[in-house]
A = this chain, B = another copy of it.
Amino acid sequence: MYSFKNDYSEGAHPRILNTLLESNLEQTEGYGEDKYSLKAIEILKSKIQNDNIDIHFFVGGTQTNLTAISAFLRPHEAAIAANTGHILVHETGAIEATGHKAISVTVPDGKLRPCDVQLALDEHTDEHMVKPKLVYISNSTEIGTIYSKTELEDLSNFCKEKKLILFLDGARLGSALCSTDNDLSLSDLARLTDAFYIGGTKNGALLGEALVICNDSLKEDFRFHIKQKGAMLAKGKVLGIQFLELFKDDLYFELASHANKMADLLKEGIDSMGYKYLIASPSNQIFPIFPNSVIEKLKGNYSFIVWSKVDDNFSSIRLVTSWATNEQAVKDFIHDLKTLS
């Protein structure tokens, strides 16, 4: 049984574990003020080509989202997200639990355009309604699509004009930036968003997300929020070391490129059999549509999520690749699919 269920089934890139072992008995400062975390921040700033940013490490995406969004908003302010947005769907109301409404805007492809955000603004006109203040986007999105530089620039300009905070969830940022369709850089993200994060958990780390705060007005006292939300690790170096390893050279991008390459290989095989997709997704999540009978048989050897019913005979499934996806497993899957079709 091989799993294409998600991109967090395996552990970490071995280099990370080895560095954890090597530095294991060294005494370091706690709470993220150790030399590894400081060095990781320095390296990330150089990769982002921006010194005027604050970087904080978190353990996971929901924790990052809830800490950042609750720190950025006043009590009456709300976040706007695409209907597929992770904060709306899969975080057990974490944003609401901090007191803020998350407004859903239905879009076809997981991405928000200025006109989508404008819809939410139009519906919130006075003090009897929440005040939309933060635009939450994901790149890649929860359905595998990615933002182009033009799209992100348009949205960024719109947000600046409307005094909205633009926050980018980068749980799968590696795959987005390494997509063959991508024309965005880390430096672009720092220029175009008020804050974004670089996901480690889904791209080679044991656990870890690096939040980058770009807008000066959002930086003050941020460590208080981290601590209050239970997100400040005593042994902060565990996070620092991971980002150090991932970014001291280009390991992060190599890992994401591998994930994408494996997804491309899957698509190549699926395309060759004439199957369609629920949506075109140039990253490490793909959503092919198969006959239900084929899906049932694939379940014998592979685990994956049945995403949605298309009609009585067809459904889409989600296949996710990762830094650790085995090329042979991909080939086997395509082979099996051909046999079954």
Given A93-B78, A224-B131, residue A207 in contact with residue B230 (CB < 8 A): no
Which A residues form the contact surface with B (CB < 8 A)? 2-3, 5-6, 8-12, 14, 17-18, 20-21, 23-31, 59-67, 70-71, 74-76, 78, 89-94, 96-102, 104, 127-131, 201-202, 206-207, 221, 223-235, 237-238, 324
Q: Chain B residues near A67: list those with CB within 8 A.
A: 230
Contact A60:B233 (CB < 8 A) given known A93-B100, A127-B92, A226-B127: yes
Q: A30-B6, A75-B225, A93-B228 are in contact. Are A206 and B25 (CB under 8 A)?
A: no
Q: Are A10 and B24 in contact (CB under 8 A)?
A: yes
Which of B11, B61, B74, B232 contacts A235, CB < 8 Å?
B11
CA distance A81 to B235 in the complex (A): 26
Contact of A96 among B3, B11, B99, B226 (CB under 8 A): B99
B71 touches A74 (CB 8 A): yes
Subset of 10 A-B contacts with CB under 8 Å: A10-B24, A10-B27, A60-B233, A62-B227, A71-B76, A78-B96, A96-B130, A127-B223, A202-B234, A207-B233
Query: Which residues of chain B are within 8 angstroms of A18 by Cβ–Cβ distance?
Result: 21
**Contact among B27, B231, B233 for A2, CB-based, below 8 A:** B27
Residue of B nearest to A63 (CB): B230
Q: Given A25-B324, A66-B230, A234-B8, verify A129-B60 contact (CB < 8 Å).
A: no
Ranked 7 nearest A-B pairs via Cβ: A63-B230, A76-B224, A11-B24, A93-B101, A92-B228, A93-B130, A9-B27
Cα(A21)–Cα(B221), bound, Å:
37
CB distance from A178 to the nearest CB of B (A): 20
Between A75, A89, A96, A201, the greatest number of chain B beta carbons within 10 A of the residue's beta carbon is seen for A75
Q: Are B8 and A25 in contact (CB under 8 A)?
A: no
Q: How far is the CA of A226 from the CA of B60 in the complex (A)?
A: 12
- Given A24-B12, A238-B207: A90 in contact with B30 (beta carbons within 8 A): no
Task: Write out the residue numbers on chain B whose beta carbons fall within 8 Å of the beta carbon of A92.
Answer: 76, 127-130, 224, 227-228
Chain B residues, CB < 8 A from A21: 14, 17-18, 21
A30 to B62, CA, bound (A): 15
CB <8 Å contact, A232 and B30: no
A28, A129, A223 — most chain B CB neighbours (10 Å): A129
